[in-house]
Structure 1
Amino acid sequence: MSGLGKDLTVKRCLTFATGLVECLCFAGAVFGWASLVFVLKTEGYFSSLCVNTTGVNATQVLDCRGQDEQFSLVFTIASFMNNFLTLPNGFLFDRFGTTVARLLGICLYTLGSLMLAFSTAVFSNLLFPAISLLAVGGILFLMTNMQVANLFGARRSTIITLYNGAFDSSSALFLVIKLLYEAGVSLLASFLFLCACSVLHLLRTFFLLPRKHIPYPLPDEYTYGITCGKSKTLSLEQTKDNGNAQKTREEMLQNTDDPVKQEKSFRECLMSRLFVLHLLWLSVMQLRHYLFIGTLNPMLQRLTEGEPSLVSRYINAFAITQLCGVLCAPWNGLIFDRHKGKPRAAGESEQEADLHASILSLFLTALQCVLFSVCAATPYLPLQYLTFILQVLNRSFLYGGNAAFLSVAFPSCHFGKLYGLVLALSAACSVLQYPLFALVNGPLGGDPLYVNVGLVLLSLLAFIHPLSVLLHCRSLASQRAISASS
């Protein structure tokens, strides 16, 4: 029995480690868009949209605003697809399980990499489907990996946020491609290598992940993957709905602090105030981040007065700071899990304790967004180093906190659907980044002051969510006090 326990521990640690590497090296590559745009501009993608115009003192200058708008549109569509298609992917994951969802993600990611490998300046429009496929495939990697946190119950939220931080840090992949390009490695070779890495994703799918889902709470000696004994696997599958359910029921009855109550339906979750305000919280901050990433290159062009070496230096600095996402995200998870192991208030359920612990995380994330927005709105070049730091800190808190909050506030059986739905609905808000960019480039004559001020004010709306959760927790505490007194 001890040998089996050691084998399970090693396998779970290997699953966690390889999942972290997968998220860190592949899943969120699309958000390193600014680094890739620098290379694509050098290669002449959409260069036909640059026109000669008369500048100051009747000098001829090259106006590439049309090219910048086209690159912004590519990223807008990809970020929209990344979020919107998470909804059907969430239903697919909940219904058919890990293997089916991952095989779809691997196919999309590989196809997107192939399109990028064989795209040229002549076929610049291949960027539209290629970047979108890369984005959708990457989010499927993240979605199927987050369930690994169920293997480590006491640190569940910490691992979920860690994986989301790794997802953010993977945007540095395009920085690596940029540096390799400057060293003489072609885009074709880089993206063909990404295609070859799909073999590793397939091996993880069949050997280190379950065919369906990792349950929570975890049954004793739970095993998974193609290498586990068939008889043991079949026995586990057959008894899942009776033996484990009965065991869970008995454990709940033994725990007098956690009364047995019926879980909310999917519809009740959607109609709850917590879900609606969480959607607002995510949408506001996500729009701020997407607009920043999509317009970073032209913003640096403006602040550096078009000096290529200076633009390259700041883009490299931005991409390098993205690597810190995997280091920042666990802080948020520790905020969620800081109450674990501590005695709860009389009558307080574990879910209520989790919700109460989430308030600080939600508030800090909103505060970070406001500070990041203020720095991004200030047209002072050296200050952008601080902007990059705040951006990666806020982004890692945002997406890790989003997944962790959904996992503690709503039943786990709806996680895939709710996670997909909240990202899909927030995608509608993120589409505003393109018209905002066009507004700056057109009627505002390239001056983003008014748009930036508006975004700072908009980010203040994110504070409504932690306030609502605080009021909800106090309401639950009042109800417990009334019940105890009566």
Structure 2
Amino acid sequence: MPDRQNRLGMRQALTFITGLVECLCFAGILFGWASLVFVLKKESYFKDLCVNSTGINGSQVLDCSGQDEQLSLVFTIASFMNNFLTVASGFIFDHFGTTVARLLGIGFHTVGTLMVAFSNSALSVLLFPALSFIAVGGIMLLITNMQVGNLFGTRRSTIITLYNGAFDSSSALFIIIKLLYESGISLRACFLFLSICSVIHVLRTFFLFPRTIIPYPLPDDYTYGLSCSKRKRAKQSMNVSSQKTTETEPFANKAPAKQEKTLRECVLSRLFIWHVIWLSVIQLRHYLFIGALNPMLQKLTHGEPSLVSQYINAFAFTQLCGVLCAPWNGLIMDRNKRKPLPEGMSEQEADLNSSVLSLFLTSLMALVFSICAAAPLLQLQYFTFIIQVLNRSFLYGGNAAFLSVAFPSCHFGKLYGLIMAISAVFSLLQYACLALVKSVLHGDPLYVNIAVTLVILLAFVHPLSVFLHCRNLASQRAKSQLQ
């Protein structure tokens, strides 16, 4: 028995470590777009959209605003697909299990990297489906990896936020490709290597994941992987099914067990609606910043290529810190697990209480980030990069962790996918904002930045809503104890 427990513990540790590497190196590479754009411009992608124009002093200059706009559109569509198709990914994960979801995600990711590898300036249009496939495949890898937190009950939120932080940090992969490109390695070779790495993802799927879903809390003697017998799998499948009616504890101590919320009740709840608004407005600010980073640096550096490259490198390297920042949010969410719960308070209620501070800090960082990003000061952008990666780590890690504690886990995949899909529709405003800056505001983003910063103030309503919800639950508990 001790040997079996040791083997299971080693398998859980190996699942956690390899999942962290997978999220860190592959899942969210789309968001290193600013670094890849630098390489794509060198490779003359959409170069035919550059036109000769007359400068201020009458000299002839090359106007590549059309090229920038087309590359920005590639990122807009890919980031939209990254979020919008998450709802389908969530349903696939919840209904068909881990193996089907992962193999589908690996397939998308591999096709996307191969399309980039075999594209060129004459086939620039391939970037549209390629980056979208990479984005969709990456988010499916993240969704299937986040369930690993269920293997570590007391550190569940910390693991979930850590994986989301690794997802953010994976955007630094494109800076590595940029550096390799500058040292003489072709763009094709880099993306072919990424395609070959899909073999590792497939091996993890069969050796280090269950066919279905890792339940929470874990049943006794839970095991997974190829060593799990068919009989054991069938027993665990029955345990998982039975948990769908017992997973959520009632808030009132010694109260009769109540039926958990349906998906419809979850979606129509005030908590979910405000959470959608919270994620959408903050995410829009990040997408606007990433999508317009290259043109913004071109303007602030007066088109100096070496300075643009320097700041893009700085931005990409700060993305590596996402994996270090995200666990702080998880520790905030899990802090109630290190001490006894107050009398009559359920673990879910304590988790919701802990989430209030996390949501407030994320909203505050988003406001500071938006103000700094709006300031037309080149040197200030170093601080903007730091606060951006910190805020983004808190945003996505906090989003997943909040959904896992506020709603029944049997709906996690569907709710996660739905909220990402809704926020994706909202994020389409980024392209409208960029088009407005270019056409109506003549390249001056000041008014758009002020408007987006004011909209971010809506994010502060969500932590207040959760706080009032927890107060209401505490009041109900006190009344029931008096009776």
**Deviation by residue 1:393-414 (Cα, 9 ceiling, x = unmatched):** 0000000000000000000000
State the superposition RMSD in angstroms. 1.7
* TM-score (structure 2 length as normaliser): 0.97
**Deviation by residue 1:393-440 (Cα, 9 ceiling, x = unmatched):** 000000000000000000000000000000000111100101110111
Q: Distance in 1 between matches of 2:2 and 2:268?
A: 47
Gaps of 5+ in 1: none
Tell me the residue number matched to 2:369: 372
| CA contact 2:244–2:410 (8 Å) conserved in 1 | no
**Deviation by residue 1:167-226 (Cα, 9 ceiling, x = unmatched):** 000000111110000000001100000010000000000000010000000012211112
**What secondary structure, in the 3-state scheme, does the structure 2 residue paired with 1:216 have?**
coil
Q: Distance in 2 between matches of 1:31 and 1:150?
A: 27
Tell me the residue number matched to 1:31: 31
Q: 1:46 to 1:482 in 2, by over 3 A?
A: same
Tell me the residue number matched to 1:119: 119
Q: 1:258 to 1:113 in 2, by over 3 A?
A: farther
Gaps of 5+ in 2: none
Q: Distance in 1 between matches of 2:83 and 2:199?
A: 26
Tell me the residue number matched to 1:351: 348
**Deviation by residue 1:52-76 (Cα, 9 ceiling, x = unmatched):** 1111111111111111110110000
| CA contact 1:26–1:138 (8 Å) conserved in 2 | yes
Q: Distance in 1 between matches of 2:275 and 2:139?
A: 20
Q: Distance in 1 between matches of 2:30 and 2:319?
A: 12
Q: Distance in 1 between matches of 2:265 and 2:344?
A: 23
**What secondary structure, in the 3-state scheme, does the structure 1 residue paired with 2:380 have?**
helix
**Deviation by residue 1:82-115 (Cα, 9 ceiling, x = unmatched):** 0000001111110000000001001100000000
Tell me the residue number matched to 2:334: 337
Tell me the residue number matched to 2:14: 14
Shift of 1:257: 6.1
| Counterpart amino acid of residue 152 in structure 1 | F
**What secondary structure, in the 3-state scheme, does the structure 2 residue paired with 1:53 have?**
strand
Q: Distance in 2 between matches of 1:57 and 1:389?
A: 38
Q: Distance in 2 between matches of 1:427 and 1:240?
A: 31
| CA contact 2:102–2:144 (8 Å) conserved in 1 | yes
| CA contact 1:252–1:259 (8 Å) conserved in 2 | no
Q: Distance in 2 between matches of 1:375 and 1:257?
A: 50
Q: Distance in 2 between matches of 1:397 and 1:423?
A: 16
Alignment map for 1:48-447 (pairs within 5 Å): 48-238=48-238, 241=241, 260-447=257-444
| Counterpart amino acid of residue 107 in structure 1 | G
Q: In the alignment, does 2:476 pair up with 1:479? A: yes
**What secondary structure, in the 3-state scheme, does the structure 1 residue paired with 2:57 have?**
helix
Q: Distance in 2 between matches of 1:239 and 1:470?
A: 34
| CA contact 1:157–1:337 (8 Å) conserved in 2 | yes
| CA contact 2:367–2:457 (8 Å) conserved in 1 | yes
**Deviation by residue 1:246-282 (Cα, 9 ceiling, x = unmatched):** 9x79x979x9567622210100001100000000000
| Counterpart amino acid of residue 307 in structure 1 | E
Q: Distance in 1 between matches of 2:101 and 2:385?
A: 33
Tell me the residue number matched to 2:467: 470
Q: In the alignment, does 2:434 pair up with 1:450? A: no
Q: Distance in 2 between matches of 1:415 and 1:100?
A: 17
**What secondary structure, in the 3-state scheme, does the structure 2 residue paired with 1:102 have?**
helix
Q: 1:451 to 1:108 in 2, by over 3 A?
A: same
* TM-score (structure 1 length as normaliser): 0.97
Q: 1:415 to 1:74 in 2, by over 3 A?
A: same
Q: Distance in 1 between matches of 2:160 and 2:109?
A: 22
Q: Distance in 2 between matches of 1:57 and 1:330?
A: 53
Q: Distance in 1 between matches of 2:275 and 2:283?
A: 12
Q: 1:398 to 1:245 in 2, by over 3 A?
A: closer
| CA contact 1:169–1:323 (8 Å) conserved in 2 | yes
Q: Distance in 1 between matches of 2:67 and 2:155?
A: 46
**What secondary structure, in the 3-state scheme, does the structure 2 residue paired with 1:52 have?**
strand
**What secondary structure, in the 3-state scheme, does the structure 2 residue paired with 1:339 have?**
helix
Q: Distance in 2 between matches of 1:432 and 1:471?
A: 31
| Counterpart amino acid of residue 387 in structure 1 | T
Q: 1:352 to 1:82 in 2, by over 3 A?
A: same
Tell me the residue number matched to 2:4: 4
Sequence identity percentage: 69
Q: Distance in 2 between matches of 1:205 and 1:259?
A: 40
| CA contact 2:332–2:358 (8 Å) conserved in 1 | yes
Shift of 1:341: 3.4
Q: 1:230 to 1:427 in 2, by over 3 A?
A: same
Q: Distance in 1 between matches of 2:338 and 2:435?
A: 52
| Counterpart amino acid of residue 318 in structure 2 | T
**What secondary structure, in the 3-state scheme, does the structure 2 residue paired with 1:318 have?**
helix
| CA contact 2:249–2:346 (8 Å) conserved in 1 | no
Q: Distance in 2 between matches of 1:426 and 1:296?
A: 21
- Is 274-283 or 333-342 further displaced after alignment? 333-342
**Deviation by residue 1:377-403 (Cα, 9 ceiling, x = unmatched):** 000000000000000000000000000
| CA contact 1:259–1:349 (8 Å) conserved in 2 | no
Q: 1:340 to 1:56 in 2, by over 3 A?
A: same
Q: Distance in 2 between matches of 1:235 and 1:293?
A: 47
How many residue pairs match? The answer is 482
Q: Distance in 2 between matches of 1:84 and 1:165?
A: 20
Q: 1:388 to 1:239 in 2, by over 3 A?
A: closer
Q: Distance in 2 between matches of 1:100 and 1:236?
A: 18
**Deviation by residue 1:279-301 (Cα, 9 ceiling, x = unmatched):** 00000000000110011000000
| CA contact 2:219–2:239 (8 Å) conserved in 1 | no
| CA contact 1:35–1:178 (8 Å) conserved in 2 | yes
| CA contact 2:332–2:355 (8 Å) conserved in 1 | yes
| CA contact 2:253–2:345 (8 Å) conserved in 1 | no
Q: Distance in 1 between matches of 2:19 and 2:255?
A: 32
Q: Distance in 2 between matches of 1:87 and 1:441?
A: 33
